[in-house]
């Protein structure tokens, strides 16, 4: 239950008001995360497998289901921010109640199938821990007082001496073998043919990115996808999310507050479009997800998720799991791009070289950066 505790640790310095709002559709109220991850255990473990369990509140299943159409009606995603109730303290009581009953249930010993559900629940909670940090950053970073979060995460400088790693042409194995936990979308180790390529051992830094901005990167349509160009025009974008130019000096909001840009840190909070345009500007390209996976043992990663030039698509033997779990990954396999690696917001041991993260190409609130290939 240390994993469950970590969710509360992240939120410890939030005020009740911070946990209630949904500033845009894709940012959920923090107290919704606290409740939804709890509902997962209540529903899939206690309700479904523990005969004498009494639900904490009969309506919470309806309130805190997320996108599992399989399980019936739910509050639509965009309306999560309308629910000021249950309040934060009730949600924390819900967590305590479910944790207690889960512990009692586990004490009796569980089947392998149940252990598997619990593992999924914990992995699921870890994913929400990461989303919580994105969402808290969005909430704090879009109000004039720029509050700071006491829970500490911080991007490290990219200090390694930069060079390009060469990988020879050939057939490679990619994907997860199925030993140890993995998501359905990684499963099915299979062969891919890769051609010669080179990949950088270092992420693009804020310093590199300022060069792109100063060279007019946001004004040269030749560098951009057509959709990317429309995206930056319509949203009047000329820098990563959270960057502000104050008195001719680049500042940014971080979870430590509003401060001067750290030039040696990896650039973060860029969309796929920006990552692509940056690579074009350098006369290079982004790696594919398979190039990344094959080369990943030859560089360090973990600061920010890394956009690849691979669309998020099913692996050759992909089979959607049955039931609600089956809605977790497969239905997003269109219009999204794969990110590989991990970020400082990713819980320890939650990532691995085969892990496939994915977002729409315009998303920027996650910790996402750039690694070049050629």
Which positions touch a copy of itself (CB under 8 A)?
Answer: 15-21, 23, 31, 59, 62-63, 67, 69-70, 75, 81-88, 139, 142-145, 147, 171, 190-193, 195, 197, 221-222, 224-229, 272-273, 276, 285, 309-311, 313-314, 316-317, 326-327, 331-335, 337, 361
CB of 258 to a copy of itself, least distance (A): 13
Cβ distance to a copy of itself smaller for residue 273 or 305: 273
DSSP designation for 341 = S
Q: What is the SS3 assignment for 134?
A: helix
Cβ distance to a copy of itself smaller for residue 117 or 286: 286
Cβ distance to a copy of itself smaller for residue 98 or 277: 277
CB of 288 to a copy of itself, least distance (A): 8
d(CA 196, CA 219) in angstroms, rounded, equals: 32
Q: What is the SS3 assignment for 62?
A: helix
CB of 51 to a copy of itself, least distance (A): 28
Cβ distance to a copy of itself smaller for residue 18 or 158: 18
The set of residues, in sequence order, having a beta carbon less than 8 Å from that of 186 and lying 6+ positions away, is 175, 176, 315, 354, 355, 356
| Cis amide leading into 52 (omega within 30) | no
Q: What is the SS3 assignment for 243?
A: strand
CB atoms within 10 A of CB 104: 12
CB of 105 to a copy of itself, least distance (A): 28
CB of 360 to a copy of itself, least distance (A): 9
Q: DSSP string spanning 296-339? A: GGGS---SSEEEEEEE----TT--PPSSGGGGSSGGG-SS-EEE
Question: Which value, in Å, is the radius of gyration of the alpha carbons in the chain?
Answer: 21
CB of 172 to a copy of itself, least distance (A): 9
Cβ distance to a copy of itself smaller for residue 79 or 119: 79
d(CA 345, CA 371) in angstroms, rounded, equals: 18
Cβ distance to a copy of itself smaller for residue 9 or 69: 69
Task: Report CA torsion sign: 187, 336, 355, 78.
Answer: negative
CB of 289 to a copy of itself, least distance (A): 11
For residues 266 and 326, the answer to whether their CB atoms sit within 8 Å is no
Cβ distance to a copy of itself smaller for residue 225 or 350: 225
For residues 151 and 30, the answer to whether their CB atoms sit within 8 Å is no
Token pair of 216 as six digits? 């007019």
d(CA 168, CA 197) in angstroms, rounded, equals: 7
Cβ distance to a copy of itself smaller for residue 23 or 162: 23
CB of 112 to a copy of itself, least distance (A): 26
Residue length, the chain? 374
């Amino acid at each position: 239950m240390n994993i469950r505790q970590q969710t509360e640790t992240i939120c410890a310095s939030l005020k009740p008001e911070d946990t209630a709002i949904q500033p845009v559709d894709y940012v959920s109220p923090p107290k919704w995360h606290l409740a939804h991850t709890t509902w997962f255990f209540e529903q899939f473990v206690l309700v479904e497998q523990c005969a004498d369990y009494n639900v904490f509140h009969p309506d919470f299943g309806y309130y805190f289901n997320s996108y599992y159409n399989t399980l019936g009606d739910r509050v639509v995603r965009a309306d999560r921010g309308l629910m000021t109730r249950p309040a934060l303290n009730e949600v924390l009581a819900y967590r305590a109640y479910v944790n207690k009953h889960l512990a009692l249930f586990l004490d009796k010993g569980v089947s392998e199938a149940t252990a598997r559900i619990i593992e999924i629940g914990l992995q699921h909670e870890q994913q929400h821990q990461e989303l919580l940090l994105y969402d808290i950053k969005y909430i704090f970073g879009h109000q004039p007082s720029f509050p700071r979060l006491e829970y500490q995460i911080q991007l490290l400088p990219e200090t390694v001496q930069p060079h390009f790693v060469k990988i020879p042409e050939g057939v490679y194995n990619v994907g997860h073998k199925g030993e140890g936990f993995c998501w359905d979308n990684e499963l099915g180790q299979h062969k891919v043919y890769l051609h010669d390529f080179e990949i950088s051992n270092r992420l693009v830094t804020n310093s590199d990115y300022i060069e792109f901005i100063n060279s007019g990167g946001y004004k040269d349509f030749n560098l951009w996808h057509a959709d990317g160009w429309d995206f930056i025009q319509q949203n009047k974008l000329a820098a990563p999310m959270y960057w502000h130019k104050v008195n001719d000096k680049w500042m940014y909001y971080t979870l430590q507050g509003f401060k001067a840009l750290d030039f040696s840190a990896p650039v973060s909070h860029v969309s796929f479009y920006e990552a692509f345009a940056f690579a074009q500007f350098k006369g290079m390209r982004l790696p594919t997800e398979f190039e990344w996976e094959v080369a990943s043992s030859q560089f360090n990663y973990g600061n920010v998720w890394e956009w690849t030039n691979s669309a998020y698509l099913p692996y050759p033997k992909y089979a959607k799991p049955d039931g609600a779990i089956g809605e977790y990954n497969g239905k997003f396999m269109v219009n999204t791009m794969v990110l590989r690696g991990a970020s400082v917001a990713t819980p320890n041991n939650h990532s691995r070289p085969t892990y496939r993260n994915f977002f729409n190409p315009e998303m920027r609130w996650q910790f996402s950066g750039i690694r070049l290939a050629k």
